[in-house]
Amino acid sequence: MRAAPMPARTWVTVATVAAVAAACGGGGGPEQRLSAHRSARSTTTTSTTTTTLPPTTSTTAPFPGLRPGDSGPEVTSLQQQLAALHYDVPVVDGSYGPGTVQAVMAFQKVHGLGRDGVAGPETLARLAAPTTPAPSVPGGGGTRVEVDVARQVLLFYTGDALHRIVAVSTGSGERYCVRGRCASAVTPGGSFRVRGKVSGWQTGDLGRLYKPSYFNGNIAIHGALSVPGGPASHGCVRVPMSSADWIYAALGVGTPVYVLNGPKVPAPFGSAMPPLVPDRNQAPGDVVPTPAAAAPVTSTTQAPTTTSSTTTTTSLPVPPSPGP
């Protein structure tokens, strides 16, 4: 028995389903090929190149002069030039130390240069054409001291001829108070003489003085650890430690001291000279050292049930004297 033929409409439906199945299957139709083409076009390859720059080298130009810490023949030559011009160079050794700094600073003060103690181009150029300061008090005594407050230098004469020029620091001009009394820190101008001396460190109300030579009440020429380029003291004339010993030895009692360009005012707190007593503790320093206490002495008496102990402590006295 034959099957009945399928109607034409049924054949159309089957054909349609087959076509749709072929189009959605994995047969690699046009839509699939287009997607693959797009994927290939969207692929990008990135290449990175790294460049290494050569290291940067900086060159510092050499200092056109001489300064603290330098050494060698050029420093020796500088020291010899300064010494020949009567500036106080403690030793000609080719080493630019504190003494050379102060000698260079004294030269700068006399010639109106910057006061830094460094022999830079300007200082070296001036050193090639220097001037010698003229005496301010000619005939003021074969051995004498002239303190120029304006230029902050001390000129020492012997045999009525200039022997040494020393950098100094005089009264700062600031107001200060001590023990309920106040005054201005000035170095009064005038003509004086050395009246008393102390061989060693001496402690005053305002600090310590090394080998002071008193010439105006409690104002003295003395060594100090700090001698800056300008006025900084309470009224005394500070000199560098490298110059203090020979200055003390050269200034006998009665030596004339002329303070020039200072204010015409009396010495602060009167003209009384302090007791000429050095410190027991001669350790150097601008601050008074703390007196060392003597070792405690203990006496113990031991009884069967009782123990007694006595301790005695002795401290060193600090003598009164003026400040620097």
pLDDT tens profile 143-193: 999 999 999 999 999 999 999 999 999 999 999 998 888 999 999 999 999
pLDDT of residue 24: 41
Contact 155, 138 (CB under 8 A): no
Quote the mean pLDDT of the chain: 80
Helix, strand, coil percent content, the chain, rounded in steps of 5: 20, 25, 55
Ramachandran area for residue 141 (φ above 0: left; ψ -120 to 50: alpha; else beta): left
pTM of the model: 0.71
Report the pLDDT value the prediction gives residue 290, as an integer from 0 to 100. Answer: 57
Q: How confident is the model at residue 58 (pLDDT cuts 50, 70, 90)?
A: low
Taking alpha carbons only, the member of 122, 137, 224, 232 closest to residue 189 is: 137
The CB-side HSE value for 288 (13 A sphere, CA atoms) comes to: 21
Residues 6 or more apart whose Cβ sits within 8 Å of residue 179 = 205
pLDDT of residue 272: 85
DSSP state of 73: H
Q: Specify which residues 155 forms β-bridges with.
A: 146, 165
Nearest partner of 233 among 264, 212, 255, judged by Cα: 212
Q: What is the DSSP letter of 53?
A: P
Scan for tokens 């000698």, then name that residue. Answer: 103
Q: Which pLDDT band holds residue 54 (cuts at 50, 70, 90)?
A: low
For residue 127, how far is the Cα from the chain centroid?
25
Choice among 17-21, 62-66, 149-153, 255-259 with the minimum mean pLDDT: 17-21
* Distance separating alpha carbons of residues 119 and 202, to the nearest angstrom: 34
Query: What are 286's two structure tokens?
Result: 């601008």
- Exposure class string for 202-212: b at 16+ Cβ within 10 A, else e: bbbebbbbbbb
Q: If pLDDT is split at 50, 70 and 90, which confidence band does 87 have?
A: very high
- pLDDT for 264 equals 85
Task: Enumerate domains of the chain plus CATH numbers.
Answer: 73-127 (1.10.101.10), 168-260 (2.40.440.10)
In which band, very low, low, confident or very high, does the pLDDT at 12 lie, cut at 50, 70 and 90? very low
Listed residue (61, 93, 64) closest to 77, CA to CA: 93
Least confident of 50-59, 125-134, 216-225, 247-256: 50-59
The continuous run of DSSP H or E covering 15 comes out as: helix 8-24
Weakest-pLDDT range from 198-202, 286-290, 311-315: 311-315
Residue range 192-203: mean pLDDT, rounded: 97
